[in-house]
Amino acid sequence: MKVSRAPNVLVQKSGYGGADIYLDHDENDDTTVRYLRKKSAARLQRRYLDDIYSLMDGVRLGWGKAVLPRHLVAQEPELEVINPDRTLEIPVVLHHYEQPFYSRLHQGVLDALVRNCPRFLL
């Protein structure tokens, strides 16, 4: 099975001049640490907002910076990518419950997602 990867970039509110505060999902989210290539999150100022759309809203509100999928911020004029050439590639995984039988509809949807979604992640 081919694994798609979504490029993630560090973003901030356009014109943001605040402190280096990083927004993450929770204390176990190591995305920012991996993007910044730090060994530990201990010295980072972090705030937690639980889901990707809350992270985007927090950045829009000027609460800090966040590492977000490029395809989600591409059409967001309020957000600016800090270093467009630096990305963190994160695998995209499709989760679904295993079942003893999949209907043709279920299998068709699954096939369409696997076949078509990777092109939207660039």
Q: List pLDDT tens digits, range 77-120.
A: 999 999 999 999 998 777 778 889 999 999 899 889 888 887 77
Cα separation, 23 vs 64, in Å, equals 6
Residue boundaries of the structural domains of the chain: 4-121
Return the CATH fold of 4-121. Answer: D-Maltodextrin-Binding Protein; domain 2 (3.40.190)
Nearest by Cα to 22 from 8, 11, 6, 38: 11
Tell me which of 11 and 122 has the higher pLDDT.
11
Q: Which residue stretches of 50-103 are H helix?
A: 52-60, 70-73
* pTM, two decimal places: 0.78
Cβ neighbour number for residue 104 with a 10 Å cutoff:
7
- Each residue's pLDDT tens digit, 22-57: 999 999 999 999 999 887 777 889 999 989 999 999
- Rounded distance, CA 122 to CA 119, Å? 6
